[in-house]
Amino acid sequence: MISVLVVALLNQNLMNKTAKQTLALASIFQSSSLVQQLASTGQCDSHSNKMSLNSIVIDSDSIDEIFTSPEDLQIGFNSLKDVLEKKSIDMHNVMLYVTALINLEKKLMKKPQLLKLITTEIELINRQEFFDINHSNSVARLAELYKNTLGSLSPTIMVRGEQIYLSNQKTANHIRALLLAGIRAVSLWKSQGGKTWHLLLNKKKTLQYIRSLAN
């Protein structure tokens, strides 16, 4: 009886770990997908956008405190599911951004002074910002932070899309702000034990968790 209970607890802990890693991974895919939406159409899903941008300024390392409902990561879950199931041929750019964000975050971790600068500036924005996170002033400030810090690291993330949107300053700011949200997402994913090779080895468990949210 005890052994059965131990196994049940271990399975529950494993599922909780998988769930948190999947939530964090979905947040990376969500930021990347929103960047792709903006680059190709000039618009993106408003609720998902707000949740992703908001994650930058929430002072917590707990993924389920930052995203409190599956709806907050719906775009991310859908994109992640499409990639894992290989159902969509339109995910190439999204995967490029996901990979680039993971690599960029790795470089950031080797630059403690730059990381400290970003953290300090986000804390300052959180205290001083009077506008909603979706407001163009807030987005512009986050974009400037990305440009002056992460934008200085090489190679820079090259966003592909329609030039009419990419050349628009407001859209460019929005994209940079979402890339900053993507870096935050990668940091959260790694804090939950996320690793690149998990994308392959944990594919079945990740899909199982995503499907459970739809039931």
pLDDT of residue 100: 96
What is the number of structural domains in the chain?
Answer: 1
The conformation of residue 134, written as its DSSP 8-state character, comes to T
- The CATH number linked to 108 is 1.10.3890.10
Q: What are the pLDDT digits (tens) for 160-214?
A: 999 999 999 999 999 999 999 999 999 999 998 888 766 666 788 888 888 888 6
Query: Whole-model pTM?
Result: 0.89
pLDDT at 27 over 80: yes
pLDDT at 104 over 50: yes
CB 185 within 8 A of CB 24: yes
pLDDT of residue 6: 30
Domain limits at 14? Answer: 2-214
Contacts of 176 (CB under 8 A, 6+ apart): 142, 143, 146, 147, 151
CB 158 within 8 A of CB 29: no
Q: What are the pLDDT digits (tens) for 43-85?
A: 999 999 999 999 999 988 888 889 988 899 999 999 999 988 8
